[in-house]
Structure 1
């Protein structure tokens, strides 16, 4: 009797699980040569499983409207939401965050504290008004430094065809325990030079946006390499800051 494809796959999966369960049980006593080969195979398998889990969790996560839903101007020729707000990270949180700590593949946390009393955590969005499945929370206690920033690396697609007639827009949903100033600094590397534009976020509501007009830069359009954004938090001591969503888009400036 022939097994159906689903039954065959189920049997194969059970066999693979039994194999790795047995390998885990006997790992402490396995010969080093065999253990080395198994470790390499396990690492390759884990890489694919992590990628599958990232995509699956992102698609199955609430909000049910989908991780890719975002509000952008209709004339946008590029839009993007960083992975922290799209899908679950391998590490959901970090305590006593040190300077230059990476959180996921696209974000880095910078500060100059002597003693770190800063924690970051990815949290689950579940409100009906949330478009992104996840958010980012920063818990800041005693803060003896002079700056705190979260740097987001924008993908290569953001600079493909980039011109000085473009406007880069950043939309965010931000909550905090007590008022503070937040600045966004767009950095554009072109050849040996880096142009910067700084905007203060208008924190008069939970839905905010800022625009960076590239006409005010000296950007060499033929040598643009990459872009990144610094989110700079002024005097963040004893505060809980939640960035519920963060998206970027690019629009050509209207010609008159």
Structure 2
């Protein structure tokens, strides 16, 4: 496809279009309702295209760079990963009145049991100097009539290749909350018909939050490991805003004694 021309003709056409829409805006208060209704449809179509351009432009022109998998990994790590949601743009970027089992990217799924969802979830662009992840996830929770709210992050197949009981699995996150609440991380590892589970509470008293799961304390059958996922569980989330600036994972073998 030929490159988009941004030369003289393009600038002239842009000025012409801007003048036309300026005149339309000036006349909007005096238009017949039938004419205004058709104009509104055209404006909405135009805004949809412009929003797409702005979303991609803001994403590509803002640091951290899209696709970045850069974060500090423990020494001797043999696997490290940042989910797509925090690494690159997803579409649609958000959902209002999000239903249970709504997905965000390829690996993250929302679960709750609200009868009426007053939960808005949206991917945002990280722009702070301290941010390493290109994107974050913002959840606005208003009235919450359910008993649980969680985000399930499916770990990729590489996470369980060669997984042993000698491994430590680390989850690092950057979390902001409008009001204090409890957040728990539960690692699930399926091996054959059984699933090992380990739960850690996220200490929200630091900028970067690290929790580790020591598989030595499980009954993991190393020969039958099939899949792994992490549940992020939010306790008492009503009337709160939670921003997950980053979530990433790594694993390393425990030092031999």
Q: What's the TM-score, normalizing by structure 1?
A: 0.77
Distance 2:220 2:102 in 1: 29
Question: Which residues of structure 2 form unaligned runs of 5+?
Answer: 6-54
Describe the shift of the 1:91–1:196 C-alpha distance in structure 2 as closer, same or farther (beyond 3 A). Answer: same
Map of 1:174 onto structure 2: 175
Map of 1:203 onto structure 2: 204
Q: What's the TM-score, normalizing by structure 2?
A: 0.77
Map of 1:10 onto structure 2: 2
Distance 2:189 2:59 in 1: 30
Distance 1:129 1:105 in 2: 26
| Residues 115 and 146 in structure 2, CA contact (< 8 A), matched pair in contact too | yes
Distance 1:153 1:64 in 2: 24
Map of 2:111 onto structure 1: 110
Aligned residues: 208
Question: Which residues of structure 1 form unaligned runs of 5+?
Answer: 1-8, 15-52
Once the two structures are overlaid, the 10-residue window that deviates more, 59-68 or 125-134, is: 59-68
| Residues 66 and 88 in structure 2, CA contact (< 8 A), matched pair in contact too | no
> Pairwise CA RMSD of aligned residues?
2.2
| Residues 168 and 252 in structure 2, CA contact (< 8 A), matched pair in contact too | yes
Q: 1:222-246 deviations in whole A, cap 9, x for unaligned?
A: 0000100000000000000000000
Distance 2:58 2:225 in 1: 34
Map of 1:84 onto structure 2: 85
Deviation at 1:206, TM superposition (A): 2.0
Deviation at 1:154, TM superposition (A): 0.3
Distance 1:82 1:139 in 2: 21
Q: How does 1:27-38 map to 2 (within 5 A)?
A: none
User: SS of the counterpart of 2:216?
Assistant: helix
User: SS of the counterpart of 1:84?
Assistant: helix
Describe the shift of the 1:61–1:80 C-alpha distance in structure 2 as closer, same or farther (beyond 3 A). Answer: farther
